[in-house]
Amino acid sequence: MDFTQDRKSNILFGLHDSRIKKISFKNDVLTIELDTIFQYTKGEEKLYSGEVLFFDSDLEECNILIFDRTVYEGEFSGKAIGLKEYMKEYAHAEFEILTEGYFGYSTTYTGWLWEKGKEPVSAILYIWNSGDMVYRIDC
């Protein structure tokens, strides 16, 4: 079932604690596959699996900052790479979303990047798209 995000109202679903399992791009649609999508209605929490589609995305405007550790205090360093490079280099990693922000045509996910056998590191994912943002829920 598809739900289109109205950029001028409250978000339909929460992605806090969700893990991005895979990111793909085809025909200007960026798709992120998630292990869990949360919906809070009438004092009830519902859990779904599914994906979020970003229509009319421009991969050249999407990027990710990957830090060398979790960054809450003190010094840190890291790198900035384009999303296309991230999809190749980190295909087997999982991005755990801790916070999410929706600002006009820009979506920001802040969280932890998990790679097998390594401690998680902080990361910030920036997605730019001018079309609809659609939650595709597995019911």
pLDDT per residue as tens digits for the range 4-61: 776 656 667 889 999 999 999 999 999 999 999 998 878 888 999 999 999 999 999 9
pLDDT score recorded for residue 13: 87
pLDDT score recorded for residue 93: 97
- Report, as an integer, the average pLDDT of 78-107: 95
Contact between 51 and 33 under an 8 Å Cβ cutoff? The reply is yes
pLDDT score recorded for residue 9: 62
Q: What b/e string do you get for 92-122 counting C-beta neighbours within 10 Å, with b at 16 or more?
A: ebbbbbeebeeeebebebbbbbbeeeeebbb
Question: d(Cα 71, Cα 66) in Å, to the nearest integer?
Answer: 10
pLDDT score recorded for residue 39: 87
- Report, as an integer, the average pLDDT of 115-123: 95
Which of 36-43's residues contact partners 24+ apart within 8 Å by CB, and which partners? 37/13, 37/135, 37/137, 38/13, 38/14, 39/12, 39/13, 39/14, 40/14
| Whole-prediction pTM | 0.90
Mean of the per-residue pLDDT values of the chain: 91
pLDDT score recorded for residue 65: 97
Mapped onto helix, strand or coil, the DSSP state of residue 60 is helix
Q: Label residue 124 by pLDDT band (50, 70, 90).
A: very high
Question: d(Cα 21, Cα 96) in Å, to the nearest integer?
Answer: 9
Residue 49: C-alpha distances to residues 89, 95, 96, 120, 131 (Å): 25, 15, 14, 23, 23
What is the extent of the structural domain holding 65?
Answer: 2-138
**In the chain, how many domains are there?**
1
Mapped onto helix, strand or coil, the DSSP state of residue 115 is coil
